Chain A
Amino acid sequence: MAENEKTFKEQFIDPVAGFGVTFRTMFKKVVTEQYPFEKLPTAPRFHGRHQLNRWPDGLEKCVGCELCAWACPADAIYVEGASNTDLPDGSGRFSPGERYGRVYQINYLRCILCGLCIEACPTRALTMTNEYELADDNRADLIYEKSDLLAPLLPGMEQPPHPMRLGDDEGAYYRGQYAAPAPGSNLAAGLATGEQA
């Protein structure tokens, strides 16, 4: 038999075997996502845009300690703290305790969404949402300010500045010793959903 003589399999089956994959796939579920026309949920712990959380009464959790800025490997976070003051009209208090974050910026041109800032935060003020659509047509708008990052005011929350509503001192907040609001009240709704992981 000549060396270049092909077997039956080589001659007839192999050339069409590849189409078998195509044929099989025609009967499988489609994995293509029709983004942006159709948006699918991410994994629950996906690292998306940051959020600055609030206590159930609306006070900010951030104390301006800058640990997030120090943890950040991309140098994307800028924080300036300032002191809360207890003024008679309540206009000097943004968080329980001594300090609050007066300026809070995250530069999403630098951020690599690694989540080290989340681990560094001692008050769980900074967490990440699942929002991943971080794009814009200019650089300035990608530096998110505190107003862009703060969690929305949920029912029962009050826009700071205002005095501490849930306890006499910050210890009550940190230990969770504030009186549980009545079920069904606006505050309860806030407690349940005020913080997203």
Chain B
Amino acid sequence: MTTTPDKTEVDLVTLTIDGVEVSVPAGTLVIRAAEQIGVQVPRFCDHPLLEPVGACRQCLVDVPDAGNGRGFPKPQASCTLPVAPGMVVSTQATSPVADKAQQGVMEFLLVNHPLDCPVCDKGGECPLQNQAMSNGRGESRFATSGSGGVKRTFPKPINLSPQVLLDRERCIVCQRCTRFADEIAGDPFIALVERGAQQQIGIAEDAPFLSYFSGNTIQICPVGALTSESYRFRSRPFDLVSTPSVAEHDACGSAIRVDHRRGKVMRRLAGDDPEVNEEWLTDKDRFAFTYASLEDRLTHPMVRDRVEDGGDGSLRPASWPEAFAVAARGLHAAGGVGVLTGGRLTAEDAYAYAKFARVSLGTHDIDFRARPHSAEEAEFLAAHVALTGPWDGGVTYADLESARTVVLVGLEPEDEAGAIFLRLRKSVRHGGTRVLALAPYTTRGLRKMHGTLVPTVPGQEPAVIADLLGRADHGIDAGAVVLVGERLAAVPGAFSAVADLVAKTGARLAWVPRRAGDRGAVEAGCLPTLLPGGRPVADAAARVDVATSWGVGSLPEGPGRDADAIVAALAAGELGGLVVAGVEPDDTTDPAATRAAIEAASFVVALGLRDTEVTRAADVVFPVAAAVEKAGTFLTWEGRPRPFEAVLPSPTSLPDLRVLAGISEELAALGQGAPLGFRTVADVRAEMSQLGPWDGARPTMTPVQPAASTEGQDGLALSTWKLMIDGGSMQDGDKHLAATARPAVARVNPATYAALGLVEGAAVTVTGDRGSVTMPVEVVDDMTDGTVWVPASSTGAGVFAGLASPGTRVTVKGAGA
């Protein structure tokens, strides 16, 4: 189950199953011991990652000797029976008693089961269907009894949530879903209701099953009782072509299985990877895949007929060769060019951008961070994040389970990294880990992890982190793990304080970004201060190393501009051109400035998936392949490479690296730079492994002093992060998923609320230097004083575009009064 490596000494218990002696660790359940000798005992309620419950009774086995010389008089449920020394077990393979008992249970389970397998979504991959064939009777004796063969029916289906549907007559009440919701996700919104034959899964009338992990219940349901709105009646298992892949929505690198049919992705399931996501998946990773097949998907390159060249200034379709040539001419003439890549790239694509910027454009002006960032963060990434990974003692998921204390700084795992949340909750439930969170209030996720809140006013993180050193009760020592989120970049001095804390306590450190491509972009060199393989730009030896490997004369001396500086330089005219990939202006530090910079740039090349404001403003637009259409690699927050192959190769869209290679070849023809020297993902992978990691000295970090406290100034400190399900453009296209989003509310503490003098149920208007938003208000008891929390991207354009710039203060007052 777990991958904790340091448990090698285990007590073995020897027992006899079906006449075969087998030794298993003490505490193993008989049903799993039987698997060791190749006997599959039929089961429904049993799941390796859930607590045993013995609800379905399908796994009955005969136990002639329980290890004490006496046997059980009746067959026993093997999924709740731990092994004992000398135990003798007879399964259905050798015991007519067990076989008859299992057939009897199956007959009972099918009394009211509708047997609508031909029209059921589960038909073909259904444990009930399979095991009714392997361990059931051919005929039911109930069909002609008193009920006259009429099965109990319910109106169907009912919505447990906007996404999850329940067909109650199919349910066999195994309680896998309720146990998952209770034990794994910590959202016990579904439970058994009614009694006897009417017993069914239900929700409270006013509380639907709103969990970020609800989709897992659909996957583990052993019958077709739970279905999703997005997949119900869309296809059958035997229609589907399954491809293993990696989720592209967060930095967790969850293993997924993509099922497609007729060239369209029909559904995604959690893959089984015990080292990463176990068998679970967030709803965003599971259901948000329609963004790649929406109407606004770009299908062909476009070139702007510029007015000065006699055109009408509009974008028109163009051939690939023409678009390559026009893009190269424009970039050649534009003077300095900046590159903004966004954080959604695969590592191979990120490497292509990094090489394109250095070789073809001759600049270090490249940054993947389409969000508030700082030079301090870049130094932190170079000093503490680049080139770390599971192979050299970096923090892994398994370490989260074995660590005594996990400190969360600027990170809300339930919203920003679902797999981390589930792993921490699992560890906490088994009494392994204490979770400590530096946050303004106890979030729902923190409560579910039974975590301790270290109240932190936004902006005061450096001081609070420094205070942790003196607090013996927090237990931060060499056995602790510190997880820092990317949001910390908006707080000057915070990364320095974390580095200091780690250096002084010996605790281990990991950086958890939000986007799937962020970590890969660090390693691939999409930073103004880092070259591929973690090589510091400032180090002449590193530059020579890379230049030699790439076969170019030399690389420019660095460092380059970061994203904010690129934006400023474009606005000031210092840079003329811009190569921009998946960047959403609303996510950036200053959305208005980013838009103005794109407007001001003399030549913009955009590589995009869909028609966005960036592609509309660009001079040349290239459609690129979505994650399902190309091979690639995402790096998890641990630094673990997660390679995947293309699910649906599409001839109309090329991966970013192929587009950049095309532009670079045209640029080389114009006498600028050299061709990139690769055209396929395989080429890039070979080149990356040939270049290898930097073996020189790791750059160090210059401590940054925290900014002066803003406490006592007017207004409230603003705390904000993105909820898991919000207005993000990669969640477009699935209205059922969107309906499961948590409502956008502003949160304040009782004192602030009282000061507002609101009437009951009134909304509040939060006003900052960039605008104001109105939303309902929720009182949180332990919110730090003088703080208001709002979701970052659940309303309108988002916080940075429509409310306040990072690190500024806001005012709150009653709305519409």
Is A99 located at the chain interface by the 8 A CB criterion? yes
Q: How far is the CA of A67 from the CA of B235 in the complex (A)?
A: 10
Contact call B155/A65, Cβ cutoff below 8 A: no
Is A60 located at the chain interface by the 8 A CB criterion? no
Is B759 located at the chain interface by the 8 A CB criterion? no
Contact call A122/B118, Cβ cutoff below 8 A: yes
B232 neighbours in A (Cβ, 8 Å):
98
Q: Which residue of B lies closest to A121 (CB)?
A: B118
A66 in contact with B236 given A122-B118, A122-B119 (CB within 8 Å): yes
Chain B, residues 411-446, CB within 8 Å of chain A (1/0): the string is 000000000000000000000000000000000000
Is A173 located at the chain interface by the 8 A CB criterion? no
A63 neighbours in B (Cβ, 8 Å):
119
Task: Identify which of B118, B153, B232 gathers the most chain A CB atoms within 10 Å of its CB.
Answer: B118
A65 neighbours in B (Cβ, 8 Å):
118-119, 233
Chain B, residues 218-243, CB within 8 Å of chain A (1/0): the string is 00000000000000111110110000
B234 neighbours in A (Cβ, 8 Å):
81
Chain A, residues 163-181, CB within 8 Å of chain B (1/0): the string is 0000001010000000000
A98 neighbours in B (Cβ, 8 Å):
232-233
Contact call A67/B233, Cβ cutoff below 8 A: no
A67 in contact with B155 given A81-B233, A98-B233, A99-B233 (CB within 8 Å): no
Q: Which residue of A lies closest to B116 (CB)?
A: A122
Q: Which residue of B lies closest to A64 (CB)?
A: B233
Q: How far is the CA of A171 from the CA of B234 in the complex (A)?
A: 22
Shortest CB distance A29–B (Å) = 48
A83 neighbours in B (Cβ, 8 Å):
233
Q: How far is the CA of A35 from the CA of B233 in the complex (A)?
A: 46
Q: Which residue of B lies closest to A123 (CB)?
A: B119
A64 neighbours in B (Cβ, 8 Å):
233
Is A70 located at the chain interface by the 8 A CB criterion? yes
Q: How far is the CA of A66 from the CA of B232 in the complex (A)?
A: 13
Q: Which residue of A lies closest to B165 (CB)?
A: A98
B238 neighbours in A (Cβ, 8 Å):
70
Q: How far is the CA of A169 from the CA of B153 in the complex (A)?
A: 14
Q: How far is the CA of A67 from the CA of B153 in the complex (A)?
A: 23
Q: Which residue of A lies closest to B238 (CB)?
A: A70
Chain A, residues 108-141, CB within 8 Å of chain B (1/0): the string is 0000000000001010000000000000000000
B119 neighbours in A (Cβ, 8 Å):
63, 65, 67, 122
How many residues of chain B have a CB within 8 Å of chain A? 11
A169 in contact with B155 given A66-B236, A70-B236, A99-B233 (CB within 8 Å): yes
Q: How far is the CA of A98 from the CA of B119 in the complex (A)?
A: 12
Shortest CB distance A58–B (Å) = 23
Q: How far is the CA of A64 from the CA of B233 in the complex (A)?
A: 9
Q: How far is the CA of A60 from the CA of B631 in the complex (A)?
A: 44
Q: Which residue of B lies closest to A98 (CB)?
A: B233
Q: How far is the CA of A83 from the CA of B235 in the complex (A)?
A: 13
A66 neighbours in B (Cβ, 8 Å):
235-236, 239
Q: How far is the CA of A63 from the CA of B233 in the complex (A)?
A: 10
Q: How far is the CA of A66 from the CA of B118 in the complex (A)?
A: 10
Shortest CB distance B759–A (Å) = 35
B233 neighbours in A (Cβ, 8 Å):
64-65, 81, 83, 98-99
Q: Which residue of A lies closest to B124 (CB)?
A: A70
A169 neighbours in B (Cβ, 8 Å):
155
Chain A, residues 48-75, CB within 8 Å of chain B (1/0): the string is 0000000000000001111100100000
Q: How far is the CA of A169 from the CA of B233 in the complex (A)?
A: 19
A99 neighbours in B (Cβ, 8 Å):
233
Q: How far is the CA of A81 from the CA of B236 in the complex (A)?
A: 12
Q: Which residue of B lies closest to A169 (CB)?
A: B155
Interface residues of B in 224-276 (CB under 8 A from A): 232-236, 238-239
A171 neighbours in B (Cβ, 8 Å):
153
Q: How far is the CA of A64 from the CA of B153 in the complex (A)?
A: 22
Shortest CB distance A73–B (Å) = 15
B235 neighbours in A (Cβ, 8 Å):
66
Q: How far is the CA of A70 from the CA of B233 in the complex (A)?
A: 14
Shortest CB distance A173–B (Å) = 15
Q: Which residue of A lies closest to B229 (CB)?
A: A83
Q: How far is the CA of A122 from the CA of B238 in the complex (A)?
A: 18
Shortest CB distance A139–B (Å) = 21
Q: How far is the CA of A167 from the CA of B238 in the complex (A)?
A: 34
Q: How far is the CA of A139 from the CA of B515 in the complex (A)?
A: 50
Chain B, residues 184-196, CB within 8 Å of chain A (1/0): the string is 0000000000000
A67 neighbours in B (Cβ, 8 Å):
118-119
Q: How far is the CA of A65 from the CA of B155 in the complex (A)?
A: 20
Chain B, residues 104-139, CB within 8 Å of chain A (1/0): the string is 000000000000001100000000000000000000
Q: How far is the CA of A98 from the CA of B239 in the complex (A)?
A: 21
A70 neighbours in B (Cβ, 8 Å):
236, 238
Interface residues of B in 86-119 (CB under 8 A from A): 118-119
B236 neighbours in A (Cβ, 8 Å):
66, 70
Q: How far is the CA of A66 from the CA of B236 in the complex (A)?
A: 9
Shortest CB distance B574–A (Å) = 55
Q: How far is the CA of A66 from the CA of B238 in the complex (A)?
A: 12
Q: Which residue of B lies closest to A82 (CB)?
A: B233
Q: Which residue of A lies closest to B119 (CB)?
A: A65
Q: How far is the CA of A67 from the CA of B155 in the complex (A)?
A: 24
Shortest CB distance B152–A (Å) = 14
Shortest CB distance B173–A (Å) = 23
Q: How far is the CA of A83 from the CA of B231 in the complex (A)?
A: 11
Q: Which residue of A lies closest to B120 (CB)?
A: A65
Q: How far is the CA of A190 from the CA of B153 in the complex (A)?
A: 30
Q: How far is the CA of A186 from the CA of B234 in the complex (A)?
A: 36
Interface residues of B in 142-199 (CB under 8 A from A): 153, 155
Q: How far is the CA of A70 from the CA of B239 in the complex (A)?
A: 9
Q: How far is the CA of A65 from the CA of B118 in the complex (A)?
A: 8
B118 neighbours in A (Cβ, 8 Å):
65, 67, 120, 122
Given known contacts A70-B238, A99-B233, what 11 new A-B pairs fall within 8 Å (CB)? Answer: A64-B233, A65-B118, A65-B233, A66-B236, A66-B239, A70-B236, A83-B233, A98-B232, A120-B118, A122-B118, A169-B155
The 4 closest A-B pairs by CB, nearest first: A65-B119, A99-B233, A122-B118, A67-B118
Chosen A-B contacts, 17 in total, with CB atoms closer than 8 Å, are A63-B119, A64-B233, A65-B118, A65-B233, A66-B239, A67-B118, A67-B119, A70-B236, A81-B233, A81-B234, A83-B233, A98-B233, A99-B233, A120-B118, A122-B119, A169-B155, A171-B153
Task: Name A's B-contacting residues (CB within 8 A).
Answer: 63-67, 70, 81, 83, 98-99, 120, 122, 169, 171
